[in-house]
Structure 1
């Protein structure tokens, strides 16, 4: 179980660690089996192994020495004396190496003389014969001694290094005893689970949110397969896409249990896709009929009862009519800069309305962004007093309004609010079968994939316990709404952005594409950190639209308890438990 540190916080590295031999799935056969032991035991094992290598080295020299001695054609002439055995049988490696050095020097000198013999006359005197009482020693003794020492020194370093995955010390594996994990509840771990969202953002911030900075690399067992594409059409039924701007589509493909840190035999993979485009907010604007005129943006379906009313989870109020547009010629962006207006990012519908409302009933969403195959939403940006050096043509950060003096190069937003329209969709595939479900909202397709007749028990359990949760964990919608609504953060890549500051952009034409890709990559890391959270608490979490067939009536109460998770080169076994009659399963899984 987890214990508290002196400061009262839970130490995530404390607790139970699985010890034993386990199989690491997804690795080559030669690297698949792993032995996990405690640090103290590992030191004893490595010390014993080093001692064994040292003893093996001396025995290898004795055998090599005997073979050379018995096969040598030249042997020293000695009187037979039983009390004085053959000295070469006790020749040490160091003496053999010392004896071969003059031979090696002579050989090198001979080669050198041969090379320069064509350039000068050889005046060297005949070598003088050194007389010694020691017996003649074949140079092969020294050569074999050098080779023997080199081989075993290499083994003495390489073998412990390879067995410990190159770690200076024994790898630490986070874990949670299955019985304690299964008894954990969502309320007790909610705060820790929520912290993973900010942790992902903090990791990328170390590289100033540069996607090529490598700050997220140590957290991946395999690099994510990310495919980017620009569309030639507007993916929304209302044709609300900004003119002359091609929508941006980014896909995270072939996500397996192993990639998120779970050691599993599952043959199921998961695909996640996000599509975004700058949107015209005009269809979403509502106004009061009588002065003073009030304006708000609504993502609620106007055709529903009270569809045009203020809904806290579907609407946000504006301070202007968001002109210039069809109803107002006022430069709302310049006015908000002058009045130090709000500087924020808002996602509509908000978190719970999207996760538990629109996800189940997409017809409650505004018809201009309504889709049956994905969760759609608006990301609304209000620049406030933020200014830029030079005009900005990016439709999301559009700034062409000079300040009220009109004599500087400072530019402010065109509108009080601009928006991106986005939708996310998910898909499941069965490896080596060519079968993939259609793209759909949330985990709807998880229900379909469990009907596949060739699905093994391990894969079926994985779908119910883990893969049905991935759409929510990888969701950019969830990532943004948690940062904004729960943590009060402003999740934009712009460095040093805050009201009344002049902000640099990476791209004055398509900064919005950079922002979308950054959110997407942060959501990937956030999902991996969230799944690893199961090393301490079970992941009996929300999974929208996972409709259970009759035979799996209670499968929504299945949960995943991961006894060990992978950090760097380390992997983990898993236990999959359920409340519908299955015993807790253990995937053969394991780190030395």
Structure 2
């Protein structure tokens, strides 16, 4: 018989349960952050204070743990590529970036500031010349004009001008105040430029985005067994520190993480149908579909010329557990079932009589109850687990199939089979858990309706609950409306896009798809993340589990919050995995690796405040303009330019006159045969023409070329001689 809760509790247990617990928490979807609020009415101020203290303790523990994990990130950042590189996510002239260390950046800006100061004084010479000779022409001696500084002009503006040279006092006293205004504008303009130019050249004051530098230890992929677990731990810690809680305590997330940009927003849809062909989804519970649409390489922190967009989709639904339950006959009576043991199996074997393969896969585990209430038992299996007279049950989160499989259709349950995606099952074994909730929990993953005796804590309904999920990918060429692959496994999507690149003759794209995009889709997989970050540590509810008492964030849809957390954390895992690849140290690579495999080593973007980024094209344009200002303020240069201008104008005029003369001569040559054709019998015309142009080739067919000077007499010959 299934044990009932109540009797057999340890003496220390009930006093512990009667202590105030963390208040219920729910997500305020309008504002985003998690808002903690109490669902108990008539709670004393002392109780509320105790609850708040307990919640603060939970978050303080999370903060300390995450600081230990992420605290040394800045010291372990990958090597940085310095000098000029192209950021393919930026348009036009902004794409060329100059990366310098902080020291060299200070030197560069000091040089720029010095050049700006020199250009300001030289620009005053230009303004002074234009003002005194063209805008407000007044008579000042040349020596006085050259000695008229900006300070003199400013003093004249405010009526405090004092001549340093008494000889020139009569002429300098005639300086108009408008010239002082010009001097003031010049000083103010260059002062503002000195402030704004560094900001414009550097882009903004945010953390510097730098490019990884290829080293002789980076092999372009991850081959260290412990690194995968480390990156999932980083991603999980970052999510719980920075995205799950948005309090001011965790304001340093951006600088500590090292990853570039913010986490992209995903789209949530509750109108999706059951993602599986069989009748395996729970009735009355709508599945959830999460999608990242059109992620560029920059969203993953990779700098690539080819901008193939990646879309990722995960559809999850609560499963009917009794569809996958296998029962054992009682050893005493074969007509009855064993109530202390059952077998949950999501694979094909044991459910399909035609299955004869030796490759079973790992699709399930043993249970200690019949997992009721269901069609096999009316008893609540959670009551059995809550009994303290029984052995401590397992509290765990299992992911099936265990391990990555290339072909699932041979081993998966027929009701779960999908050819266009990766199917995985997430099963929660509640163990000895009690939920600190004031109302029954309607969530299918955490269902709880029975109260533990003498407490307001709820007992889980089932020993095990499960979510069935399908993960799919789609790739698009450059934009969302261009050729796209169908939704499917990431391997299939990459192969289909490689066919498009092969048809376009883009060999570089083929290599990027094979070695870079394949890595992005693999490392961002939710299934892969859950396999690497094993156990209940991936659950948000585990954060608020104190011994065996759990506080949920949402009593109806906690399972959706969990799926959203996995979806986001899997993407973060891809970002951290890329940093781990380019951060790799140790033995040097063999040198036999293909260049295409190593491309990711010098393509990862990350944040590093020890470096400065400068817009190279803008910097070059500013330096050229300042040098031109200095050059044109040099007195011999304007004179030389003026002389060159006059010479060029005269040369253009002479060339134009010569072209006109030749054009007139050519037109006359064309006119002679026209007259000869229309007046062939006119003896007068022929005699006059031959008399005037006796050597013309038009009258002598055997002569094809004649000198124009011999053909023409009179004004035409004189014009040709002058050419």
| Residue among 589, 594, 604 paired with 1:565 | 604
Q: In 1, Cα distance between the equivalents of 2:136 and 2:99? A: 52
Q: 1:496 to 1:222 in 2, by over 3 A?
A: closer
SS at match of 1:438: coil
* Residues 307/157 of structure 1: CA separation in 2 closer, same or farther (3 Å cut): farther
RMSD: 3.9
Q: Give distance in 1, aligned partners of 2:296 and 2:258.
A: 18
Partner of 2:100: 37
Q: TM-score, normalised by structure 2?
A: 0.62
**What corresponds to 1:478 in structure 2?**
528
* Preserved CA contact (<8 Å) 1:21 1:33: yes
Summarize the Cα distance change of 1:279–1:443 in structure 2 as closer, same or farther, 3 Å threshold.
Answer: same
Contact residue 39 and residue 170 of structure 1 kept, 8 A: no
Specify the alignment match of 1:579 in structure 2: none
Question: Quick one: distance in 2 between partners of 1:9 and 1:269?
Answer: 29
Q: Within 5 A, what are the aligned runs for 1:367-516?
A: 367-383=414-430, 384-389=432-437, 390-405=439-454, 408-431=455-478, 434-452=482-500, 453-454=503-504, 456-484=506-534, 489-492=537-540, 495-505=543-553, 507-516=554-563
What residue in structure 2 maps to residue 147 of structure 1? 185
Please give the residue correspondences for 1:121-270 in structure 2 after superposition, counting only pairs within 5 Å. Answer: 135-167=173-205, 173-177=211-215, 179-182=216-219, 186-187=222-223, 189-207=224-242, 209-210=244-245, 219-221=259-261, 224=264, 226-270=266-310
Contact preservation (8 Å) 2:359, 2:411? no
1:13 to 77, 101, 116: 77
Q: Do 1:374 and 1:425's aligned partners in 2 also have CA atoms closer than 8 Å?
A: yes
User: Are 1:275 and 1:422, in contact at CA under 8 Å, matched by a contact in 2?
Assistant: yes
Partner of 2:412: 365
Matched residue, 1:121? none
Cα distance in 2, alignment partners of residues 392 and 169 from structure 1: 44
Change (3 A) 1:493 1:29: farther
Q: 8 Å contact 1:494–1:504 — kept in the other structure?
A: no
- Between the aligned partners of 1:536 and 1:482, the Cα distance in structure 2 is 20
Report Cα offsets for 1:226-258 as digits up to 9, x if no partner. Answer: 222123521212222121111111111212323
Correspondences of 1:243-322 after superposition (within 5 Å): 243-291=283-331, 293-301=340-348, 302=350, 303=352, 313-322=362-371
CA apart distance, 1:520: 0.6
Distance 1:305 1:472, change over 3 A: farther
> Are the equivalent residues in 1 in contact too, given 2:371–2:381 (CA < 8 A)?
yes
Mapped contact 2:301–2:575 kept (Cα < 8 A): yes
Q: Does structure 1 conserve the Cα–Cα contact (< 8 Å) formed by 2:272 and 2:289?
A: no
Alignment CA distance shift 1:98-1:400 (3 Å): farther
Gaps of 5+ in 2: 1-71, 161-168, 332-337, 586-592, 612-618, 621-723
Cα distance change of structure 1 residues 380 and 23 upon mapping to structure 2, 3 Å threshold: same
- Indicate the larger mover: 260-269 or 321-330: 260-269
**Bigger radius of gyration, 1 or 2?**
2
Change over 3 Å in CA distance of 1:460–1:144 after alignment to 2: same
Name the SS for the 2:605 alignment partner: coil
Alignment partners' CA distance in 2, 1:374 and 1:169: 38
User: Corresponding residue for 1:93?
Assistant: 150
8 Å Cα contact 1:265-1:459 kept in structure 2: no
Deviates more, 1:301-310 or 1:167-176: 301-310
1:272, 1:474 within 8 Å by CA — same for their partners in 2?
no
In structure 1, C-alpha distance between the alignment counterparts of 2:221 and 2:552, rounded to whole Å: 45
* C-alpha contact 1:284 1:299 (8 A) present in aligned 2: yes
2:122 paired residue among 59, 66, 78: 59
Equivalent-residue separation in structure 2 for 1:342 and 1:334 (angstroms): 14
Shift of 1:391: 1.3
CA distance 1:132–1:508, change in 2 (3 Å): farther
What secondary structure, in the 3-state scheme, does the structure 1 residue paired with 2:329 have? Answer: coil
Displacement after TM superposition at 1:220 (Å): 4.3
CA distance in 2, matches of 1:168, 1:564: 21
2:344 and 2:364 in contact (8 A); partners too = yes
Which residue, 309, 334, 342 being the options, matches 2:394? 342
* Cα deviation code 1:556-592 (max 9, x no counterpart): x95643225222599x9xxxxxxxxxxxxxxxxxx99
Cα distance between partner residues in 2 of 1:457 and 1:222: 32
Alpha-carbon separation, structure 1, partners of 2:602 and 2:584: 10
Q: How far has the Cα of 1:489 moved from its partner?
A: 2.6
- Whose helix proportion is higher, 1 or 2? 2
CA shift at 1:153, angstroms? 1.9
With normalisation by structure 1, the TM-score equals 0.75
Per-residue CA deviation, residues 26-84 of structure 1 (Å, 9 max, x unaligned), is 321020112233443333222211111111111112221232233465858x9x8x9xx
CA-CA distance at 1:373 after TM superposition? 1.0
DSSP-derived class of the 1:567 partner:
strand
Decide whether the 8 Å contact of 1:443 with 1:469 is kept in 2: no
Q: How many residues align?
A: 504
Q: Is this contact kept in 1: 2:73–2:258, CA < 8 A?
A: no
C-alpha distance after superposition, 1:412-457 (max 9, x if no partner) = 2111111111111112222357322222223122122212212522
Distance 1:566 1:142 in 2: 50
Q: State the Cα distance separating 1:403 from its structure 2 match.
A: 0.9
Measured after TM superposition, the shift of residue 377 of structure 1 is 1.7
Q: Report the secondary structure of 2:237's partner residue.
A: helix
**Equivalent pair of 1:338/1:385 in contact (CA under 8 Å):** no
Contact 1:286/1:308, CA 8 A, preserved across alignment: no
- 1:173 deviates by 4.2
Q: Say which SS state the counterpart of residue 549 (structure 2) adopts.
A: coil
CA 1:210 to 1:307, structure 2 compared with 1: closer, same or farther past 3 Å? Answer: farther
Aligned counterparts, 1:549-564, within 5 A: 558=597, 560-564=599-603
Contact residue 272 and residue 427 of structure 1 kept, 8 A: yes
Does the CA contact (< 8 Å) of 1:18 and 1:175 recur in 2?
Answer: yes
Contact in 2 for aligned 1:297/1:317 (Cα 8 Å): yes
